[in-house]
Structure 1
Amino acid sequence: MGTQSLQDDEVLGQIVGGSLSRGLDVRLSSPGIAEKAKVGTFVTIQGRGHKFFGIITDMALDSVDARFPSFASSMEPSISEILVGTSTFVLARVTPMLSVPISGLTSPEPAKSLPTHFSITRRASNEDVQSIFGTEDDRHIWIGSPLDMESTKVCLDLHELVKRSNGVFGKSGSGKSFLTRILLAGILQRDVATNLVFDMHNEYGWQARSENGYHVKGLKQLFNSKVSVFTLDPSSSEKRKVSVDHQVVISPSEILPDDIELLAPLLGITSFGVDLCHQLYKQFADSWFSDFLEIGEQKGSSSHNEGYDLQIEETSNPSKETFSSINDLARFFRQSSSTMEALYRRLQHLNSFDFVKKGSQSTTIKALMEQLKSGRHVVFEFGKWGSDLTAYLLVANLLTRKIHQEYKTLTEQAIYLQNAPPKPLVITVEEAHRFLSKEIAGKTIFGTIAREMRKYNVTLLVVDQRPSGIDDEVLSQIGTKITCQLDNERDLDALLAGAAGTREMKSVLSRLESNQQALLFGHAVPMPVVLRIREYGTEFYDEISSASSKTTAELESDRRSLFG
């Protein structure tokens, strides 16, 4: 590795103080070590009866004499050289995460005790990392390497990962998409769940362009027959020479007031407008959306002429034909005409989407469920509509609501009939804070799924650059968090709320490099670890695309053992 990096098992120093809550103080053994040790370095501490595992979360300069700073500026260079490492020294703050008896008879457990003074602290070795994170096998994938340990593999337990909803966070350009591809490809290759990816920017299907300008393969290129591509925009897919399995069409009858409630901030619809949508649905049922817009189109021939007054008893149940203008509707619902007309204008935006087709019988849900139940993974491309957040939110929320209902039915039937439950489904969604904000998380299907954990074998993989915009309760249900660089204080606080060692982890997060570094912590890993994410390129393609050594029957047996 060279002289600027620590070596496996290299001694860093010894414990001179600290506590379990704020971390242990390690006095580094030499000035040279001080410049090689980094925040995020994975270390071990050899106690008398236990071996402790932790990470460096801070570093500080110190001296044996508190008066040292007052006379340091006038000191001769020759004298200062003598004092370095003796009267002055560097302290590393180490947060202990796990401990294991030296006998090795039990598995690592969260650190609840401390090593004694003068316990030796070392940079972790490859064997140490393997003992904690495991090795690549049928349930573990290599996701990256600890800092300055490029030849060492940190593996992620995919079976534990898919048991809960998870999150990939980081600001734009920090490597979220590449990290997400690694996770999705691992889930697909190990066959631990089925993926449904709402691909906002057409990055996960066939190919995408990296930050450096070169093309990288998507899931369809890597796994071809195991992946289906659905699209809202066939012309975009055709231009990119992407083979499409299904063109998505949404029927107006599939749009519910709940969808409008999610879109209200984008469409400029007030709470009164949302309530009015619910009233329209109560009156016209599934045809409320198209009926309302049709009545609105007749406003030029309004029956609100001089001397005309529509008489409809509240107890009656008038049909669409009863209303000859939007003003008639306003009077029936006891709303102002301006409120009704404002709602009409805003809902017209949805009617302008070419994938919303009046009179069509949508087959999208049926086609989606056929693919998912057969074990095929689905990438849902938005084409030109990916830049329209309203279209993205509408389609993702609408389809996820219907899919969740299907999985709920399948799961309940399996329990009743004592059959195997449906294969776990992982739904990947970008711009997650739009679905899971504090204002609407309790009303969207995504909030429901996050809080249910895997009750109906459906979980989320949320990809977002603004975790502070996600509801606190939902964020607390995210099982495993993989966090690339974030520079917003509120985002850091939101991610670490409720985590052990919040202050120390915040220090680590704030020092991540801008690309390919991440802090991994949560349910699917034994302890937090700072990673350099592995390259998503030729080596990864060759490895992940290789045929599994297990037969389909063996994989199904593993799945039954894990999920019942």
Structure 2
Amino acid sequence: MSLDGQHNAHVTDHVSDNAFLGVVTDGRFSQGLRVRLLDPAAVERLRVGSFVVIEGIERRYFGMITDLSLDTTDAALLADPPIRSPFLSRIVRGTHAYATAEIRPSLVLEPESDQPQPARSIPPHFARLRQATADDFALVFGQEDSTHFALGTPPAMEIPVPLDLAELVKRSNGVFGQSGSGKSVLTRLLLVGLVLADQVSILLFDMHNEYARAPTDQPELVGLLELFGPSRVQIYTLDDRTERSASARTIQIGLDQIEPDDIELLAEELNLNPTFATVAHHLRARYGPQWIRQTLEFDTEAVKEFCASTGVAEASVNALRAKLDRLAKRPYICETLDTSVIDEIIGKLQRGTHIIVQFGRCDSFLDYMLVANLLTRRIHDRYTEDVLEAQQAGGQSNLRPLVIVLEEAHKFLTPEAARQSIFGTIAREMRKYRVTLLIVDQRPSSIDREILSQLGTKVIGPLSDQHDIEAVLTGVADRSGLRSLLANLSPRQECVIVGHAVRMPVAIRTRQYRREEILALVRGWGKTMDDERHLRLLLGQ
């Protein structure tokens, strides 16, 4: 037998799909481990992001491949590779020329422990590297159950990788990825998991009308309303001409319900000058809830009288009047309302109904930002008041936790806006007042870094811009390894999950989001719950 054959036979004795692939040769705790691969072909089968296990003498380490490289023991091979002799190439390959893998251990299973803990040590020389098995995945990530939901499987395996939904909803979270990378599918899957787990209510601002029903250009998908029915999912719309659901409710907003703070977030969209806030607050203080109507009715003399008594400039008042007139002409705005849609929405959220706010043809950023900001500010005020009253009474609030889903989040969470907007407040408060955010965005570099660092879990799809990659890794350990991993994601249907909902960073291939598969998932979930009544509830029956 040739030397090459003897070497391959030796490897075959020790290497199989789930056997060891190589041995640790060097490394540092701060930089990761270097593993020499025994099988020359293993470097072709492995990929950056693979979940692997290193068997130490006393401990088992769980980690992720962050890099793959080719090395030699003799620099002369680089200057004069044996390409003219296939026989010599086979002899040298795997001995003097070999492949290595960089491994970042994240967790360790200590002796006499049944739960992995964060790794604070490293394995010794020649500890063996092997591919992870289904049992390893179950030990680290758990299995799907009433509070664990899988967004997908590892790229080269068919083993579900569940998120811990109970941990997920304790903090605000984010879904990021460039346009066309599948953010909407990831968000839909997350929302399906949250509805199934039934631990929180969801308020979803659906700017593009794509979550309630399958988009017209993607009929193979399924919307949340189609999946769970009107008993679980309720539509509110700004444009009843585009919503065909009999159970849908129309949102109307009275001018007397709009506060100066509601408009402050719209400074860029309305091209407001820096003095508008001062002028608006003066108007609100003088005229109360009717401040917008009174301002729009100003004549020249009224403007002069107001400016004389307050000291503001006439030009500022006239500029603000022109912007307020633009708001007043929106089709969902009326002069005054006796009822508030906020009370109705909060009541349904507390009963476990999930609310989707659709915008129909009122789909400009002005509409989106005004309505999302106005509704969220009042809902948060209501939740905050209830929690504080319960604390003063020595008890705990009974309010059902709420997750607010915000698309195009960079519009609300720029460094300037985040300091004054309700969304920045919610992201920083985490779950103190039982309200958290799920932000969905393709431009994380435009979002305030403090907000990004506060997110509990990030689901990150492909990002091509280096500024976006750097931003989305704000507050994350081992940024260099994850940066390499993000750079190697497939353009679609792959993502990296990092944060509190998973015990260690992991790359996955997103599960299919087609009508048949999702319906089967929901029905299968009901069976695992072993509760036919619960299944009927989930399906809106």
Please, which of 472, 480, 485 is the counterpart of residue 503 of structure 1? 480
1:254 and 2:230 equivalent?
no
Letter in 2 for 1:245: A
Please, which of 393, 398, 402 is the counterpart of residue 378 of structure 2? 402
Please, which of 162, 180, 198 is the counterpart of residue 169 of structure 2? 162
Conserved in 1, the CA contact under 8 Å of 2:419 and 2:425? yes
TM-superposed deviation, 1:138: 1.2
Conserved in 2, the CA contact under 8 Å of 1:206 and 1:217? yes
Corresponding residue SS for 2:209 = coil
1:15 and 2:27 equivalent?
no
Please, which of 269, 275, 278 is the counterpart of residue 272 of structure 2? 269
Please, which of 254, 278, 283 is the counterpart of residue 280 of structure 1? 283
TM-superposed deviation, 1:393: 0.6
Match for residue 54 of structure 2?
45
Q: Distance in 2 between matches of 1:100 and 1:176?
A: 34
Corresponding residue SS for 1:31 = coil
- Summarize the Cα distance change of 1:7–1:78 in structure 2 as closer, same or farther, 3 Å threshold: closer
Match for residue 63 of structure 1?
72
Q: Distance in 1 between matches of 2:68 and 2:168?
A: 32
Match for residue 544 of structure 1?
522
Deviation readout 1:302-345 (Å, 9 max, x if unpaired): 34xxxxxxxxxxxxxxxxxxx2xx34444444344333322222
Q: Distance in 2 between matches of 1:56 and 1:280?
A: 60
Q: Distance in 2 between matches of 1:73 and 1:441?
A: 60
1:42-441 to structure 2, matched below 5 A, reads 42-72=51-81, 76-101=85-110, 103=112, 105-149=113-157, 151-209=158-216, 213-224=218-229, 225-237=231-243, 241-295=244-298, 298=299, 302-303=300-301, 323=302, 326-386=303-363, 388-415=364-391, 416=393, 418=395, 421-441=398-418
Please, which of 458, 463, 477 is the counterpart of residue 486 of structure 1? 463
Deviation readout 1:25-47 (Å, 9 max, x if unpaired): 11111221111110111100000
Conserved in 2, the CA contact under 8 Å of 1:229 and 1:243? no
Conserved in 1, the CA contact under 8 Å of 2:203 and 2:357? yes
Q: Distance in 2 between matches of 1:102 and 1:89?
A: 33
Task: Report the number of matched residues.
Answer: 516
Letter in 2 for 1:482: V
Q: Distance in 1 between matches of 2:420 and 2:290?
A: 22
In structure 1, stretches of 5+ residues that fail to align are 1-5, 304-322, 556-564
Conserved in 1, the CA contact under 8 Å of 2:115 and 2:139? no
Conserved in 1, the CA contact under 8 Å of 2:40 and 2:99? yes
- Summarize the Cα distance change of 1:420–1:139 in structure 2 as closer, same or farther, 3 Å threshold: same
Q: Distance in 2 between matches of 1:552 and 1:344?
A: 58
- Summarize the Cα distance change of 1:219–1:129 in structure 2 as closer, same or farther, 3 Å threshold: same
Please, which of 514, 517, 542 is the counterpart of residue 491 of structure 2? 514
Q: Distance in 2 between matches of 1:511 and 1:432?
A: 25
Q: Distance in 2 between matches of 1:207 and 1:472?
A: 34
Q: Distance in 2 between matches of 1:278 and 1:31?
A: 71
Conserved in 1, the CA contact under 8 Å of 2:82 and 2:89? no
TM-superposed deviation, 1:79: 2.9
Q: Distance in 1 between matches of 2:16 and 2:195?
A: 35
1:470 and 2:452 equivalent?
no
Match for residue 3 of structure 2?
none
Q: Distance in 2 between matches of 1:170 and 1:413?
A: 40
- Summarize the Cα distance change of 1:375–1:551 in structure 2 as closer, same or farther, 3 Å threshold: farther
Conserved in 1, the CA contact under 8 Å of 2:386 and 2:397? no
TM-superposed deviation, 1:419: 5.4
TM-superposed deviation, 1:362: 4.2
Match for residue 562 of structure 1?
none
Corresponding residue SS for 2:171 = coil
Letter in 1 for 2:222: K
Q: Distance in 2 between matches of 1:187 and 1:178?
A: 14
Q: Distance in 2 between matches of 1:8 and 1:245?
A: 53
Of residues 191-200 and 276-285 in structure 1, the stretch that sits farther from structure 2 once superposed is 276-285
Corresponding residue SS for 1:185 = helix
CA RMSD in angstroms comes to 2.2
Deviation readout 1:507-551 (Å, 9 max, x if unpaired): 101111111101001011110000001111212222225647377
Deviation readout 1:77-135 (Å, 9 max, x if unpaired): 543332211111111111111010254x2410111111111111111111110111111
Corresponding residue SS for 2:275 = helix
Conserved in 2, the CA contact under 8 Å of 1:234 and 1:244? no
Corresponding residue SS for 1:217 = coil
Letter in 1 for 2:371: V
Deviation readout 1:34-83 (Å, 9 max, x if unpaired): 11110111100000001111111111111102343222388645433322
Corresponding residue SS for 1:289 = helix
- Among all aligned residue pairs of Structure 1 and Structure 2, give the percentage whose two residues are the same amino acid: 39
The TM-score, its normalising length taken from structure 1, stands at: 0.87
- Summarize the Cα distance change of 1:483–1:21 in structure 2 as closer, same or farther, 3 Å threshold: same
- Summarize the Cα distance change of 1:383–1:362 in structure 2 as closer, same or farther, 3 Å threshold: farther
Conserved in 2, the CA contact under 8 Å of 1:22 and 1:95? yes
Letter in 1 for 2:517: E
Q: Distance in 2 between matches of 1:89 and 1:497?
A: 35
TM-superposed deviation, 1:476: 1.1
Of residues 420-429 and 451-460 in structure 1, the stretch that sits farther from structure 2 once superposed is 420-429
Match for residue 5 of structure 2?
none
Conserved in 2, the CA contact under 8 Å of 1:8 and 1:125? no
- Summarize the Cα distance change of 1:275–1:552 in structure 2 as closer, same or farther, 3 Å threshold: farther
TM-superposed deviation, 1:413: 3.5
In structure 2, stretches of 5+ residues that fail to align are 1-14, 536-541
TM-superposed deviation, 1:412: 2.8
Match for residue 311 of structure 1?
none
Q: Distance in 2 between matches of 1:98 and 1:86?
A: 31
Conserved in 1, the CA contact under 8 Å of 2:452 and 2:475? no
The TM-score, its normalising length taken from structure 2, stands at: 0.91
TM-superposed deviation, 1:7: 6.7
